[in-house]
Homo-oligomer: A and B are copies of this chain.
Amino acid sequence: MSVMYGWRAMLLLAGLLPAHAAHAAGTGQHLYRYGGDRVMACATCHGRHGEGGAGPRLAGLSASYIASQLHAFRNGHRPDSKMQAIATRLDTTRIQAVVRYISQLPRRSLPPLSSDAASSDVRRLLALGDRQRGIPACIHCHGADLRGGGPEIPPLAGQDAGYLARQLRLFRKGARSGWPATLMVHVSRGLKDREIAQLADTISAWTGKVVKADVKDSPSRWHPAPAGPDHFTPPDEAAVPPDHPLVAMIRQGERIFVDTPHRARTFTGDALSCANCHLDRGRLATAAPMWAAAPHFPMYRGKNRRVNTLQMRIQGCFVYSENGLPPPLNSRVMNALTAYIDWLATGMPMGEHPKAAGFPKIERPKAPTDRRHGRQVYMARCAMCHGAHGQGRSVRGKRLFPPLWGPDSFNWGAGMHKLKKAASFIRHNMPYGAGGLLSNRDAWDVAAFVDSHPRPQDPRFTGDVATTAKRFHKHPRDDFYGRKINGHVLGAPGTLKAWVRARGR
């Protein structure tokens, strides 16, 4: 319940609800620069232009982020005696005013950042994380340039190094709590002291260029020895010697895999990338990893009643999850994806069907799913990244978080429209970097909430929702296709359009 309180309070504090005071900016500026009424000036520590000093840089932070942090200080979720005292002494009006002022401080007035140099280890953590220790890539949420991933995910580039290191240590020991600090508590658990210092130094000097992992690493890892199909280590991102035609193909496949809408535009009809479901670029064991899929093709699939080669299976993903067209079997997109996917399975025994194939088994709760409860959990835990309307989020022209429903998401033929699959995906992998945070029931209810929204038509549509539902959506317990939700039949022509008209795309 405190979470829900926190969420609403945050919106309130952020002044995103009604705008009361026309002169708030003026008041905010005064408070920021000169303080008053038992509150010291923000500028004392954070600098006259929010550029930081004794305290962290504030310029560039969003109103909602500043407000939520003030709230966190006030209720003890963030440990800092000075800021806790200040936040407690401010009333709502003054908080609104100063938040609004700070959020408008121009980032461009700050001194230029210094350098994009980084050791290959740090670059790796930033760009790829470390799956062995459960550390996701920093850029996954904070943006490829580390300049922030939206209102609640602050920019990191250029932030004070001491501040960054201090916060990472606080996260790591769980001293910051509440939402979304919990995410960072999960994410930072595996970091070593040395890494925290290096990350902080590198990030604080980062100019905001796109972070790329150094791939000129040891080629000895090209053929990892698997410890058996269920303890498999896919080849490392850095394991590919860069000067071979096959490697160029594998790299191209990887680029398509992580940025499908741009790299395979012809065949893509939504805003999803392969890597949105197959996390960690197809490596994460709990997210239908490619290394577990590749070895067991060709295989028979009931869905199309045929023996499918890997390529035919990939075509299926494009038709349904990508809501697009099947890339021809001799296309470069197809060959590059095949090369990448087969490479990820290097060392896996051919014909093997490892336990990790697909999504992990998940227990079905005895009670029916509760979409209302799902909505509550979604708003508290998922909307931060995927948006209140499931629209996902792009930042500075680059898509950071995928849309979950609506016209830009997977269609009614994709596996993810089925509750069981979606619930497993959510339970084991969401929120990103903190899989397992949601309970089994939460995961099922969020899945039900997400999958009971309009999305593009099933490509197998017969012209009639009832017939299509009968032929292709036989398990109503797992599937909302053809059901009437909020006055509209899901899958009926017009339902998606009506939703777009009501919400905007």
The answer to whether the Cβ of A347 comes within 8 Å of any Cβ in the partner chain is: yes
The answer to whether the Cβ of A213 comes within 8 Å of any Cβ in the partner chain is: no
A350-B246 in contact (CB<8A)? no
A332 to chain B, nearest CB (A): 10
User: How many monomers of this protein are in the complex?
Assistant: 2
Stretch at the interface among A14-22, A86-94, A197-205, A336-344: A336-344
The answer to whether the Cβ of A261 comes within 8 Å of any Cβ in the partner chain is: no
The answer to whether the Cβ of A175 comes within 8 Å of any Cβ in the partner chain is: no
A63 to chain B, nearest CB (A): 50
A380 to chain B, nearest CB (A): 42
A309-B294 in contact (CB<8A)? no
B298-A339 in contact (CB<8A)? yes
The answer to whether the Cβ of A351 comes within 8 Å of any Cβ in the partner chain is: yes
Instruction: Find A351's partner among B298, B307, B347 (CB 8 Å cutoff).
Output: B347
B249-A307 in contact (CB<8A)? yes
User: Across the interface, which residues of B come within 8 angstroms of A244, CB to CB?
Assistant: 300
User: Across the interface, which residues of B come within 8 angstroms of A311, CB to CB?
Assistant: 309, 311, 329
Nearest residue, chain B, Cβ from A252: B307
Query: Which residues in chain A, 284-338, are within 8 Å of chain B measured between CB atoms?
Result: 294-295, 297-300, 305-307, 309, 311-312, 328-330, 335, 338
A300-B346 in contact (CB<8A)? no
A469 to chain B, nearest CB (A): 26
The answer to whether the Cβ of A348 comes within 8 Å of any Cβ in the partner chain is: yes
Closest 9 CB pairs between A and B? A329-B329, A346-B351, A249-B307, A245-B300, A298-B339, A345-B350, A246-B300, A347-B349, A348-B350
- Told that A245-B305, A245-B306, A246-B299 touch, could you supply 6 new A-B pairs with CB distance under 8 A? A311-B329, A342-B351, A343-B351, A346-B350, A347-B352, A349-B349
